[in-house]
């Protein structure tokens, strides 16, 4: 059974004992606001940088999805700032809660009805104060980082080769000072010496073969070597701001000399010949749509330059599955799109059936009857919410009412059918003339997802989007069972989706 109440918890800091309201305190306050006897789900956004400035938080998005799915009566939080420190987000959330008839309970607004004049005023004041506090914190942090940079102090984690100076009891010395770790500094100098002649991959392999340890218990990788290379200006004793936009003399001692740094930079630049750099803005037609058949993770596009050519792949970052050649995978999808069209006579017949099935007898005006059925849905929800109707009866009547609404004559469904029909009929002739960007847009319109395994994508693994799936299904049977106007299976499949929308 779905929960009737949700408790949302957000903690901005990674550590549970940091200067923030703990998860336990937030949950206790939220539970005290809810009426007894309710089924409750607790949704958390804790740990990591869970900023209230944006709604791009997994827990917050789950809260919105649960509210929109229905069945939720209460949303409880420790205070309104836990939901967001953004006025626009909070106003939109309040409107969503009002549409869904969900009561918002907050510890800093315990006895105020949010639908009253005083409640709305207090709500607006509190969300404005939360954003004001966030803006002040951001300005203070920016000023503090600027002062620290101008003073030559390091910001962020300790770079490999350095460690922050600490007192005897383990506390950091203020202001922060970096000391050299001799054994790590030797590795840094060696890496920069090798960069003059070797690639990052070879350097990493050599360090692993010799048993050279990193600070963390992990092997050296190409990215780890690149991180040491990226911090080159810091190893010269400088502090850097904005990825090299500004530099200033640092308070920490240098590890590299100017000659070592210059030799590493010149050697790295010499390994990239003009004309073989990967294109910066490459179009990946299956970006976000292709998944790994081994682990189920999403594949990511990557282009490599070699022997004067570019080679594009889709890679899995979650397992060691082999990369999928991008050109071959995209060709499978595009070839499937060229093939997947229905005969014009079959489409015309399906449209005729659609019009016939939408012409149901009506006892009054269409608009009046649609409004009456919509009001019935609202009344059923109220009866179920008051406890006057059992859940089984409620679900059955709601399903029946929605079916009646779907079967009413609706010109939009015919317009939608015709729009997709034109796309399908002109697909093959326009696909070859399209630009890479246009093909990528088309693939995202038609493909819901695809799965690649053993460096291969097969047409049967493609899942088409619901609006066009009726046109494109049964591709594997084309040779065995030709699509004809007399085959009613295809006509019904075309109608399935269009009769259920709305």
Alpha carbons 112 and 128: distance in angstroms, whole number: 17
* Exposure of 273 in the CB half-sphere (CA atoms within 13 A): 7
Rounded-to-10 torsion of CA 112, 113, 118, 123 = 80
Q: Residue 278 domain-assigned?
A: no
Whether 97 shows a pLDDT value over 50: the answer reads yes
3-state secondary structure of 31: helix
Which uninterrupted H or E stretch holds 398? helix 391-406
Q: Residue 144 domain-assigned?
A: no
CATH code of the domain containing 19? 3.40.50.1390
The reported pLDDT for the residue numbered 393 is 87
Q: Residue 153 domain-assigned?
A: no
My answer on whether 305 and 413 are in the same domain is no
My answer on whether 83 and 169 are in the same domain is no
The CA-CA-CA angle for residues 299, 305, 310, to 5°, reads 75
Average pLDDT estimate for 433-453: 85
My answer on whether 55 and 101 are in the same domain is yes
* Exposure of 132 in the CB half-sphere (CA atoms within 13 A): 6
My answer on whether 183 and 226 are in the same domain is yes
pTM for the full model?
A: 0.43
When pLDDT is cut at 50, 70 and 90, the band that residue 43 belongs to is very high
**How are beta strands 324-325 and 246-249 bridged, if at all?**
unpaired
When pLDDT is cut at 50, 70 and 90, the band that residue 411 belongs to is low
* Exposure of 143 in the CB half-sphere (CA atoms within 13 A): 6
CB 189 within 8 A of CB 258: no
Instruction: Find, among 347, 355, 329, 485, the residue nearest to 424 by Cα.
Output: 347
CB 461 within 8 A of CB 305: no
Instruction: Find, among 161, 164, 211, the residue nearest to 183 by Cα.
Output: 161
The CA radius of gyration of the chain, in Å to the nearest whole number, is 31
Alpha carbons 102 and 75: distance in angstroms, whole number: 7
My answer on whether 451 and 325 are in the same domain is no
My answer on whether 202 and 324 are in the same domain is no
My answer on whether 355 and 477 are in the same domain is yes
Cα 174 → chain centroid = 39
Alpha carbons 201 and 203: distance in angstroms, whole number: 5
When pLDDT is cut at 50, 70 and 90, the band that residue 188 belongs to is very high
Quickly count helices (H) and strands (E) in the chain.
Answer: 19, 15
Alpha carbons 454 and 401: distance in angstroms, whole number: 48
Which tokens belong to 340? 């997947």
Average pLDDT estimate for 266-290: 69
CB 220 within 8 A of CB 207: yes
Q: In the listed set 240, 270, 300, which residue is the last one of a domain according to the structure?
A: 270
The reported pLDDT for the residue numbered 343 is 58
- Taken in order 351, 356, 360, 361, the sign of the CA dihedral is positive
Number of folded domains in the chain?
A: 4
My answer on whether 422 and 479 are in the same domain is yes
Alpha helix segments (H runs only) across 271-319:
none
Q: Residue 331 domain-assigned?
A: yes
Q: Residue 69 domain-assigned?
A: yes
Which uninterrupted H or E stretch holds 77? strand 74-77
Whether 303 shows a pLDDT value over 60: the answer reads yes
Alpha helix segments (H runs only) across 322-410:
326-339, 344-358, 366-386, 391-406
* Exposure of 237 in the CB half-sphere (CA atoms within 13 A): 9
Q: What is the pLDDT of residues 138-173, one digit of tens each?
A: 888 888 888 888 888 887 788 898 988 876 556 666
My answer on whether 122 and 89 are in the same domain is yes
Whether a cis peptide bond, with omega within 30° of 0, leads into 175 is yes
Q: Residue 365 domain-assigned?
A: yes
The reported pLDDT for the residue numbered 439 is 85
Q: Residue 246 domain-assigned?
A: yes
CB 341 within 8 A of CB 424: yes
Alpha carbons 389 and 70: distance in angstroms, whole number: 16
What is the DSSP code (8-state) at residue 208?
H
For 37-86, the DSSP string reads T--EEEEEEESS---TT-S--HHHHHHHHHHHHS---EEEESSHHHH-S-
* Total Cβ atoms within 10 A of residue 295: 12
My answer on whether 12 and 120 are in the same domain is yes
The reported pLDDT for the residue numbered 497 is 44
CB 387 within 8 A of CB 473: no
My answer on whether 29 and 128 are in the same domain is yes
Whether 6 shows a pLDDT value over 90: the answer reads yes
Q: What is the pLDDT of residues 189-226, one digit of tens each?
A: 999 999 988 888 889 999 999 988 888 778 899 889 99
Q: Helices 222-230 & 182-194, crossing angle to 10 degrees? A: 100
When pLDDT is cut at 50, 70 and 90, the band that residue 274 belongs to is very low
Q: Residue 321 domain-assigned?
A: yes
Alpha carbons 454 and 24: distance in angstroms, whole number: 47
My answer on whether 494 and 357 are in the same domain is yes
Whether 111 shows a pLDDT value over 80: the answer reads no
Average pLDDT estimate for 356-383: 71
The parent domain of residue 172 ranges over: 162-270
The reported pLDDT for the residue numbered 422 is 63
- Taken in order 171, 173, 175, 180, the sign of the CA dihedral is negative
When pLDDT is cut at 50, 70 and 90, the band that residue 484 belongs to is very low
């Amino acid at each position: 059974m779905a929960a009737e109440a949700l408790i949302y918890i957000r903690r901005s800091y990674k550590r549970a004992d940091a200067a923030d309201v703990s998860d336990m305190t937030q949950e206790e306050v939220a539970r005290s606001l809810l009426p007894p006897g309710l089924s409750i789900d607790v949704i958390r956004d804790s740990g990591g940088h869970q900023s209230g400035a944006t709604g791009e938080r997994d827990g917050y998005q789950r809260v919105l999805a649960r509210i929109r799915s229905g069945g939720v009566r209460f949303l409880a939080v420790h205070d309104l700032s836990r939901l967001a420190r953004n006025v626009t987000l909070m106003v939109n959330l309040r409107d969503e809660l009002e549409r869904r008839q969900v009561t918002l309970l907050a510890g800093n607004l315990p006895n105020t009805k949010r639908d009253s004049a005083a409640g709305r005023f207090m709500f607006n004041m509190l969300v404005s104060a939360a954003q004001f506090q966030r803006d002040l914190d951001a300005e203070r942090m920016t000023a503090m980082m600027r002062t620290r940079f101008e003073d030559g102090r390091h910001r962020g984690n300790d770079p490999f080769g350095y460690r922050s100076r600490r007192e005897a009891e383990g506390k950091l010395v203020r202001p922060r000072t970096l000391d050299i770790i001799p054994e790590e500094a030797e590795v840094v100098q060696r890496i920069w010496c090798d960069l003059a002649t070797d690639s990052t991959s070879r350097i990493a392999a050599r360090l692993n073969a010799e048993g050279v340890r990193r600070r963390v218990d992990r092997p050296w990788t190409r990215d780890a070597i690149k991180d040491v290379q990226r911090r080159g200006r810091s190893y010269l004793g400088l502090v850097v701001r904005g990825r090299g936009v500004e530099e200033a003399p640092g308070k920490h001692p240098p590890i590299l000399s100017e000659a070592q740094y210059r030799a590493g930079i010149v050697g790295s630049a010499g390994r990239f010949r003009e004309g073989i750099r990967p294109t910066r803005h490459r179009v990946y037609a299956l970006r976000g749509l292709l998944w790994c058949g081994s682990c189920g993770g999403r594949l990511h596009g990557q282009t490599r330059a070699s022997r004067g050519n570019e080679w594009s792949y889709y890679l899995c970052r979650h397992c060691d599955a082999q990369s999928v050649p991008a050109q071959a995978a995209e060709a499978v999808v595009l070839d499937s799109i060229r093939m997947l069209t229905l005969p014009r006579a079959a489409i015309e017949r399906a449209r005729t059936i659609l019009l016939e099935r939408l012409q149901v007898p009506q006892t009054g005006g269409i608009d009046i009857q649609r409004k009456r059925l919509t009001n019935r849905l609202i009344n059923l929800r109220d009866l179920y919410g008051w406890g006057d109707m059992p859940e089984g009866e409620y679900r059955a009547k709601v399903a029946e009412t929605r079916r009646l609404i779907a079967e009413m004559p609706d010109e939009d469904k015919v317009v939608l059918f015709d729009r997709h029909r034109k796309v399908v009929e002109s697909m093959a002739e326009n696909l070859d003339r399209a630009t890479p960007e246009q093909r990528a847009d088309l693939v995202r319109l038609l493909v819901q997802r695809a799965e690649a395994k053993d460096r291969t994508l097969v047409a049967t693994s493609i899942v088409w989007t619901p609006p066009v799936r009726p046109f494109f299904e049964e591709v594997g049977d084309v040779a065995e069972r030709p699509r004809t106007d007399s085959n009613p299976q295809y006509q019904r499949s075309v109608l399935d989706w269009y009769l259920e929308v709305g």
